[in-house]
Amino acid sequence: MKRNFMYVIGAVLLVSTMSCKAQNAKDAVDNVPKHEFLNLPKVDLKSFKKNADGAYVIFDGTSLNGWRGYNKEVVPSKWSIEDGTLKFSKSPAGVSNPQGGDLIFAHDFKNFELEFEWKISHAGNSGVFFLAKEVKDQPIYISSPEYQLLDNDNHPDAKMGVDGNRKSGSLYDMIPAKPQNGHPAGEWNKAKIVVKNGKVTHYQNDVKVVEYTLWTADWNKLLQASKFSQEKWPLAYELLNNVGGKSKSGVIGFQDHGDDVWLKNITVKVL
């Protein structure tokens, strides 16, 4: 009789636990804030020139054609062209009441190779986004993976996160770039991001440093272990778990993190 009683108690506890988990999952879904995707102007990629490798040159050092602020229709005044580079300036000279914000190239990409060069200011922080959606009243990183740009030697983020997953070239707060071969502040780095049918590869200074696949159980685990987990940030979890939305595509963007950053030779090859 005692053994049967213990079996009954165990069964009740198991059912209760399963019921609680199901309820918690339902609550998490119910608690996702409502959101709205914006439909702002996009550009015709075919109007841009291609280089010898067949990649579209989306920044040639002379024009900001195709670029605008995230969730904006204009280029924020903290972004400008300086000596042939695309620069974010914390305090741009000669500009009164400068406006900041992330910068995007206004075209939805799906399968592509993005290449560019970058350098960061002392203790600087920035990032690159892709497959991003423009979500009303929300930051760009709520819907996009981030390739980290960082002064590894002097910015505190380099010592945060897990196993260096906030250093340059990393999938921010999820996968560390290994080997970590980022150059110091003030020196140019080369970056490449390849997206092909959900498989994403990060290259830093011509070396493959990160690899992952979107829309998989492993991707979900990465999100749940990060600051974008279902419990910590339900809306980010929902959007990032479905990166690119139904079309599995989105815009490319560069981050205003408040620190000076320079970019050049920005190209995209459509795959």
Instruction: Return all residues near 90 (Cβ < 8 A) that are at least 6 apart.
Output: 78, 121, 258, 259, 260
DSSP state letter for 160 = S
Q: What pLDDT score was predicted for residue 31? A: 64
In this predicted model, what pLDDT tens digit does every residue of 195-245 receive, in sequence order? 999 999 999 999 999 999 999 999 999 999 999 999 999 999 999 999 999
Q: What pLDDT score was predicted for residue 94? A: 82
DSSP state letter for 184 = P
How is residue 110 written in tokens? Answer: 């799906």
Instruction: Return all residues near 139 (Cβ < 8 A) that are at least 6 apart.
Output: 102
Least confident of 5-19, 91-105, 123-137: 5-19
In this predicted model, what pLDDT tens digit does every residue of 147-198 receive, in sequence order? 999 999 999 999 999 999 999 999 999 999 999 999 999 999 999 999 999 9
Q: What pLDDT score was predicted for residue 30? A: 52
Is-contact 120 151, C-beta < 8 A? Answer: yes
Is-contact 166 184, C-beta < 8 A? Answer: no
pTM assigned to the model: 0.88
In this predicted model, what pLDDT tens digit does every residue of 235-270 receive, in sequence order? 999 999 999 999 999 999 999 999 999 999 999 999
